[in-house]
Amino acid sequence: MRFDVITLFPELFEPHLIHGITRRAYESAQVDVRLWALRDFADGQYRRVDDRPYGGGPGMVLLAEPLERALAAVRAGRDGDAVGAADAVHTRAPVIHFTPTGRRIDQALVREIAAGPGAVLLCGRYEGIDQRVLDRHVDVELSLGDFVLSGGELPALALLDAVARLQDGVLGDAHSHQQDSFSDGLLEGPHYSRPENLVTDDGSLPIPPVLLSGHHGRIARWRREQSLALTARRRPDLIVLARAAQQLSAEDERFLASLGIY
């Protein structure tokens, strides 16, 4: 899949693409990332890409014309690659704009994007993007959460990372992402490693004995209950959704009842 990123700061992406475990996805081109510097599509000596908003107000707005040129170049590049691939099935990639007013990114959406042709990632800056560009080109608006960032680069990086780790062969264990938080609708429980008994100034901290039992069924049940307990405390809304989707067993319900929460 291919992601075309339109940004004022392509240099923010380059370190991410060559470090960490997800670099395998980029090196293999399972996730093919193309960076498009918005200033390359601006006019004039100073390559200006922003101006004051009509109607007054604080901040600057990214201009429509450089964005129109950049999007046209991206489309031409994607179309050219599709024609050049003998067995390619060309599916129009959606244009994604990152904004606090967008849909919050979640794991279900990440899986959906990871199964598609990729996307054009439009990273805004300053006060925003000329609305006419958004109306003409944007298919989806996404947000990391209910807070404001300086631009769309961080959400774009987060989305690329989340998609990359779902690709075959990227993680050391092919089943790792299947146990992540939200993969089954719940938060992931705690993990422990060596030493078996951690000695600190506050005393000894042994790992839970069940993890040493060698009884796979008991360990699996313990992990499920830890996941349920953590989710009930921190994200009770996810318990409600899991119950509505009939993802909780009778044993799960008994355990939740024993917590005194449900």
Say which of 94, 100, 225, 243 is annotated catalytic: 100
CB 42 within 8 A of CB 35: no
Tell me the three state secondary structure of residue 230: helix
Query: If we measure between CA atoms, which residue out of 243, 253, 189 comes closest to residue 219?
Result: 189
Say which of 66, 78, 165, 252 is annotated catalytic: 165
Residue 94 bears catalytic tag: no
Say which of 180, 184, 188, 225 is annotated catalytic: 180
* 79, HSE (Cβ side, Cα atoms, 13 Å): 6
Helix axes 216-234, 236-244, angle to 10 degrees: 120
Residue 225 bears catalytic tag: no
CA gyration radius for the chain?
23
- From residue 94, alpha-carbon distances to 23, 78, 189, 245 in Å are 23, 12, 34, 29
Say which of 32, 127, 184, 225 is annotated catalytic: 127
Residue 106 bears catalytic tag: no
Query: If we measure between CA atoms, which residue out of 145, 142, 135, 167 comes closest to residue 156?
Result: 142
Peptide bond into 195 cis (omega under 30): yes
Residue 243 bears catalytic tag: no
Q: Active-site positions?
A: 100, 127, 165, 180
